[in-house]
């Protein structure tokens, strides 16, 4: 029921995902049966692999997470997350209220053993390969240990879902030299430089390294990650607007634009936010993916594909295994962090 369009988008999106995922997938829809049913009429094949669970209750987009937790019982969002908890579903995908989704998922699913906080991760286009970035806003402030856990979760994603055997992991900072940056970032770097984790620690990266594709995984706190993501979106809008202006600035430019229009559309598709839709809530004891609220059916289907990928690759099992390995080194890495914070 979430997002700007509810079932009008979610049902066709499921049909698109079904086309790609094939017969082994099933969909559980939670929300207003009449509305869902009406859209489903256009997709008879999807209906055969779908169950609709009716509820009147919906968590509004502007509801505070704390209120959603108190009053959200029987809401479509909560019921969908409960389906993951009970094992009825392998994953949940929602275009609803991000804060409420995170709070409810955290409460019901809990974190994986050894993970202190879940993170929101997403995949971005770059000048080289795609890059995974986290956290995009679940944890506004982080300490060194949390950043190390994020590095692990991001590295496992790159390894099992993207198939990169030795993903490089960079810590976002204001410079690449060892002495640069806040204490908690330097402490995280010291730990990642010493422990074994499922990636290669690259060191510090700066903001421009994200679009340049310097590393496979960029790790940062949720405040910085959220700002970075939105700055990137906004600069995309800005350059798009300037280029559009340019092609309308003269007759010659207009003609040039017409000739190049197919090529330009292809360039635009390389940074299509619909293709990259799907914020993964990593570190929970269950798979939960957030779609942008304004997405169309294709965009939402991409978020479903992210969830399906995490499920089929056994992402959580792998993270649980890796965090166990890391925790065996914990005494060691706590010592390192201490040295950074209080150098001898």
User: Residues interacting with a second copy, by CB under 8 A?
Assistant: 62, 64, 125-127, 137, 140-141, 172, 174, 177, 179, 181-182, 206-212, 220, 222-224, 226-243, 245-247, 249-250, 252-253, 255-264, 266-267, 270-271
Q: For residues 327 and 123, give the distance between their C-alpha atoms in angstroms, rounded to a whole number.
A: 27
Q: How far is the CB of 72 from a second copy (least distance, A)?
A: 17
β-bridge mates for residue 94, sequence order: 290
Sole residue written with tokens 């340019």: 246
* Structure token digits, residue 31: 């929300």
Q: With contact defined as beta carbons under 8 Å apart, do 320 and 182 qualify?
A: no
Number of other CB atoms surrounding residue 340 within 10 Å: 17
* Structure token digits, residue 100: 């409420």
Q: For residues 272 and 292, give the distance between their C-alpha atoms in angstroms, rounded to a whole number.
A: 13
Report CA Rg, the chain. 21
Q: With contact defined as beta carbons under 8 Å apart, do 287 and 320 qualify?
A: no
Q: How far is the CB of 115 from a second copy (least distance, A)?
A: 21
Q: Which is nearer to a second copy, 34 or 255 (CB)?
A: 255
Q: Which is nearer to a second copy, 19 or 183 (CB)?
A: 183
Q: For residues 14 and 50, give the distance between their C-alpha atoms in angstroms, rounded to a whole number.
A: 9
Q: Which is nearer to a second copy, 6 or 211 (CB)?
A: 211
Q: Which is nearer to a second copy, 20 or 116 (CB)?
A: 116
DSSP character string of 37-90: HHHHTT-HHHHHTEEEEE------TT--HHHHHHH-TT-HHHHHHHHHHHTS-S
Terminal CA-to-CA distance of the chain, rounded, Å? 56
Of 315, 320, 236, 325, which Cα lies nearest the Cα of 280? 315
Evaluate the omega torsion of the peptide bond into residue 135 and state whether it is cis, within 30 degrees of 0: yes
Q: For residues 62 and 180, give the distance between their C-alpha atoms in angstroms, rounded to a whole number.
A: 39
Q: Which is nearer to a second copy, 243 or 340 (CB)?
A: 243
Q: Which is nearer to a second copy, 190 or 310 (CB)?
A: 190
Q: Which is nearer to a second copy, 263 or 344 (CB)?
A: 263
Q: How far is the CB of 68 from a second copy (least distance, A)?
A: 13
10 Å CB burial of residue 185 (0-12, 13-18, 19+) is buried
Q: How far is the CB of 28 from a second copy (least distance, A)?
A: 30
Q: How far is the CB of 141 from a second copy (least distance, A)?
A: 6
Q: How far is the CB of 282 from a second copy (least distance, A)?
A: 18
β-bridge mates for residue 282, sequence order: 119
Q: How far is the CB of 148 from a second copy (least distance, A)?
A: 18
Q: Which is nearer to a second copy, 248 or 334 (CB)?
A: 248
Q: How far is the CB of 33 from a second copy (least distance, A)?
A: 32
Q: How far is the CB of 167 from a second copy (least distance, A)?
A: 20
Q: Which is nearer to a second copy, 140 or 327 (CB)?
A: 140
């Amino acid at each position: 029921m979430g997002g700007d369009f509810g079932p009008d988008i979610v049902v066709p999106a499921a049909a698109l995902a079904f086309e790609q995922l094939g017969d082994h997938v099933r969909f559980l829809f939670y929300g207003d049966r009449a509305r869902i049913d009406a859209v489903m009429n256009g997709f008879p094949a999807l209906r055969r692999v779908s169950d609709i669970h009716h509820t009147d209750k919906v968590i509004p987009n502007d509801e505070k997470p704390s209120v959603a937790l108190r009053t959200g019982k029987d809401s479509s969002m909560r019921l969908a997350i409960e389906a993951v908890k009970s094992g009825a579903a392998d994953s949940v995908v929602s275009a609803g209220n991000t804060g409420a989704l995170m709070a409810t998922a955290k409460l019901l699913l809990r974190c994986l053993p050894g993970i202190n906080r879940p993170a929101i991760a997403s995949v971005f286009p770059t000048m080289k390969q795609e890059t995974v970035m986290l956290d995009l806003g679940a944890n506004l402030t982080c300490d060194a240990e949390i950043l190390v856990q994020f590095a692990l979760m991001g590295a496992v994603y790159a390894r099992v879902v993207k198939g990169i055997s030795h993903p490089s992991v960079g810590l976002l900072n204001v410079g690449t030299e060892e002495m640069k940056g806040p204490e908690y970032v330097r402490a995280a770097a010291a730990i990642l430089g010493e422990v074994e984790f499922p990636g290669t620690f690259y060191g510090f990266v700066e903001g421009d390294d994200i679009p340049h594709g310097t590393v496979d995984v960029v790790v940062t706190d949720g405040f910085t990650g959220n700002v970075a993501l939105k700055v990137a979106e906004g600069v995309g809008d800005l350059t798009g607007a300037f280029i559009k202006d340019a092609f309308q600035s003269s007759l010659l430019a207009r003609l040039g634009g017409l000739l190049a229009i197919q090529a330009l559309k292809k360039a635009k598709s390389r940074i299509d936010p619909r293709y990259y839709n799907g914020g993964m809530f990593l570190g929970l004891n269950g798979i939960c993916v957030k779609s942008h609220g304004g997405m169309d059916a294709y965009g939402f289907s991409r978020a479903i594909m992210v969830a399906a990928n995490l499920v089929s690759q056994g992402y959580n099992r792998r993270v649980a295994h890796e965090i166990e390995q890391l925790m065996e080194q914990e005494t060691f890495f706590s010592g390192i962090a201490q040295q950074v914070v209080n150098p001898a």
